[in-house]
Chains A and B, each alone.
Chain A
Amino acid sequence: MLRTRLIKNAIAKQSSFVLLLISLSVVIIIGIGLTFKSIPLFESFNIWDLLTNHVWAPMKGSFGFLPFIMGTLSVTLVALLISCPLCILSSIYLTEYASNALKNMVLPLINVLAAIPPVLYGVWGVLFIVPAIQSYIAPLFGVSTSGYTILAGGIVLSVMIFPIMISIMVEVLKTIPAELKAASLSLGATKWETAQKVILRKAKPGIIAAIVLAISRAFGETIAVLMVCGNVSKIPTSIFDAGYPIPALIANNFGEMMSIPLYDSALMFSALLLFVIIFGFNLISRIILNRLEGKHNG
């Protein structure tokens, strides 16, 4: 009896361990697979050229990734400019000012926002943001555009990263000890001054980690941005230009890539680029967040 139970236990242990190894090996498979498929491209071009060349003409054998890198960067930058201030202010409000009732109402709503699939954000962008830019915002600056722009991508993306930013920032702000706030308040500081000078300073690493995570989410977002960005492979010079982020490049061209030499390798290289950057960003911010959490618990 005891023996069968121990055997069952051992089997359960071993099989979960195998599942763990298989699941973790996905990281390695992705890394190696993408590198392996990118090799043909590396053999013909040097990496620096690929990253700085701005001519994307696969038919002519020219693979310049700069327009896509700039597309990704500019969309992400616009998104951050919008969502960073909004999220930091909202998080402070939620943790320092809001009543519990309000918190219990707002935080679940933020979770709903997180649950909305990217394609719906895309639909919203196409239905609302793009026309708004075309007929109201761009004319305001004297520009005429279809609305499918870096700005549209940035706005849609900023809303998509609200949830991840706010949920992490709220967690981080919660770890600030109440004594610290009390000390500042009892010195006669207003709540806002306390927030500015004590809380934000103390929470800086955590907030940066949240922003870095949000950036990596923004880098990888594919379909919603693809739907509103215009997808023109030129380096954007204004937020009213169309842009072409890296994920969109992969998604748009996968079907036809087989017939053109090196095309598949080039797309795999862009996936590798995304993977490496996002892996690095995630690693950094998770380490910061884990450390904060450890400090808080200990």
Chain B
Amino acid sequence: MHAHPIIETEQTQVVSPAIQPHIQIQDLNIHIDGHHILKNINLSLPNNSITSIIGPSGCGKTTLLKTLNRLIDDTKGVQVSGSVFVNGEDIYAPNAEVTHIRKKMGLLSQKPFPLPMSIYDNIAYGPRIHGTRNKKELNAIVETQLKNVGLWEEVKDRLDQSATRLSIGQQQRLCLARGLAVKPEIILGDESTSALDPISTQTIENLLVELKKDYTIVLVTHILRQARRVSDYIIFVYGGEILEFGKTEEVLLNPKHEITRQYVKGFIS
């Protein structure tokens, strides 16, 4: 089962000067404890747009996301074959440097995980480990990123407070800002709104839509409506294979596969 080749859109052509897609997956196979979790994945993710990975639970969508920044390495009994190219560099090459690859990809996890430090230090953590020591520079980064996620006004007077004191919606925005502070090129979201209330969910969704002009965004979601609201492209994963990949309306309104149609209608969940 092969995925569709990249779909040419004006948007990718115009905004990104690099024609090469950020992320290209070739012949990716993943086994976990002998189970074939992902089967022959071939995929090019469109730049500067939001791609949602949908599918029934246990179909391998989170696994697919985790292969993109090699967090899959941490899984028990995992075996990976094939290649994932990020900016043309195979991140599964034997001599690939993982730290450097991960920096390019911001992760927005399921639940917000503020680091055990102050709001300021949460944002400054990334830039600091990557070598920014200048206080002024750091201040600027913190302010910009917090403004980016619309959190600045809410927290500017208590930057030295522990980040765990923020509400869960604020925490998730903080985590997004923290990820952006290391200047990634790609944002990976793993059901990033599943722990949030509807209003915070909307805030995050709006942010993501705004951010896509600068970033390539890949989201895993189990909420079809969310996929419809925010994404430009949809990947439907079923039983470890990519059944469908195309523009959002196409996949949702006019799916090529019976299984996709049933899932979209809500028969499979």
- In Å, the complex CA distance between A255 and B199 comes to 76
The reply to whether B130 and A1 form a contact with Cβ atoms under 8 Å apart is yes
- In Å, the complex CA distance between A2 and B130 comes to 7
- The secondary-structure label for the interface of chain A is helix
Does A6 sit within 8 A of B, measured CB to CB? yes
Does A295 sit within 8 A of B, measured CB to CB? no
What is the 8 Å Cβ interface bit string for chain A, positions 4-43, against chain B (1 contact, 0 not)?
0110010000000000000000000000000000000000
Closest to B129 in A: A5
CB distance from A227 to the nearest CB of B (A): 46
Does B34 sit within 8 A of A, measured CB to CB? no
Closest to A6 in B: B99
Point out the residues of chain A lying under 8 angstroms from B77, CB to CB.
Answer: none
Does B100 sit within 8 A of A, measured CB to CB? yes
Number of interface residues of B (CB under 8 A): 6
- In Å, the complex CA distance between A6 and B102 comes to 14
Does B153 sit within 8 A of A, measured CB to CB? no
Point out the residues of chain A lying under 8 angstroms from B100, CB to CB.
Answer: 2
The reply to whether A6 and B130 form a contact with Cβ atoms under 8 Å apart is no
Does B266 sit within 8 A of A, measured CB to CB? no
Point out the residues of chain A lying under 8 angstroms from B97, CB to CB.
Answer: 2, 6
Q: Range of interface residues on chain A?
A: under 10
Point out the residues of chain A lying under 8 angstroms from B99, CB to CB.
Answer: 2, 5-6, 9
Point out the residues of chain A lying under 8 angstroms from B131, CB to CB.
Answer: 1
Closest to A1 in B: B131
- In Å, the complex CA distance between A6 and B100 comes to 10
CB distance from B100 to the nearest CB of A (A): 6
Closest to B103 in A: A2
Q: Find residues 58-99 in chain B having any chain A CB closer than 8 Å to their own CB.
A: 97, 99
- In Å, the complex CA distance between A119 and B15 comes to 76
Point out the residues of chain B lying under 8 angstroms from A9, CB to CB.
Answer: 99
- In Å, the complex CA distance between A5 and B97 comes to 12
- In Å, the complex CA distance between A2 and B100 comes to 8
Point out the residues of chain B lying under 8 angstroms from A1, CB to CB.
Answer: 130-131
Point out the residues of chain B lying under 8 angstroms from A6, CB to CB.
Answer: 97, 99
- In Å, the complex CA distance between A19 and B257 comes to 56
CB distance from A239 to the nearest CB of B (A): 51
- In Å, the complex CA distance between A1 and B182 comes to 14
CB distance from A196 to the nearest CB of B (A): 38
Closest to B131 in A: A1
- In Å, the complex CA distance between A1 and B99 comes to 12
Closest to A9 in B: B99
Closest to B100 in A: A2
CB distance from B128 to the nearest CB of A (A): 11
- In Å, the complex CA distance between A9 and B129 comes to 12
Point out the residues of chain B lying under 8 angstroms from A2, CB to CB.
Answer: 97, 99-100, 130
What is the 8 Å Cβ interface bit string for chain B, positions 94-114, against chain A (1 contact, 0 not)?
000101100000000000000
- In Å, the complex CA distance between A6 and B130 comes to 11
Point out the residues of chain A lying under 8 angstroms from B130, CB to CB.
Answer: 1-2
CB distance from A38 to the nearest CB of B (A): 42
- In Å, the complex CA distance between A218 and B264 comes to 64
Q: Find residues 105-164 in chain B having any chain A CB closer than 8 Å to their own CB.
A: 129-131
CB distance from B164 to the nearest CB of A (A): 24
Point out the residues of chain A lying under 8 angstroms from B129, CB to CB.
Answer: 5
- In Å, the complex CA distance between A212 and B100 comes to 50
CB distance from B225 to the nearest CB of A (A): 34
- In Å, the complex CA distance between A2 and B97 comes to 10
CB distance from B184 to the nearest CB of A (A): 15
- In Å, the complex CA distance between A5 and B129 comes to 8
- In Å, the complex CA distance between A76 and B199 comes to 64
- In Å, the complex CA distance between A74 and B99 comes to 60
- In Å, the complex CA distance between A1 and B100 comes to 11
- In Å, the complex CA distance between A9 and B130 comes to 14
- In Å, the complex CA distance between A121 and B130 comes to 55
CB distance from A9 to the nearest CB of B (A): 8
- In Å, the complex CA distance between A5 and B103 comes to 13
CB-defined A-B contacts under 8 Å, sample of 11: A1-B130, A1-B131, A2-B97, A2-B99, A2-B100, A2-B130, A5-B99, A5-B129, A6-B97, A6-B99, A9-B99
Known: A2-B97, A5-B129. 9 other contacts (CB 8 A): A1-B130, A1-B131, A2-B99, A2-B100, A2-B130, A5-B99, A6-B97, A6-B99, A9-B99
Report A's interface with B, CB cutoff 8 A: 1-2, 5-6, 9
The 8 closest A-B pairs by CB, nearest first: A1-B131, A2-B100, A6-B99, A1-B130, A2-B99, A5-B129, A5-B99, A6-B97
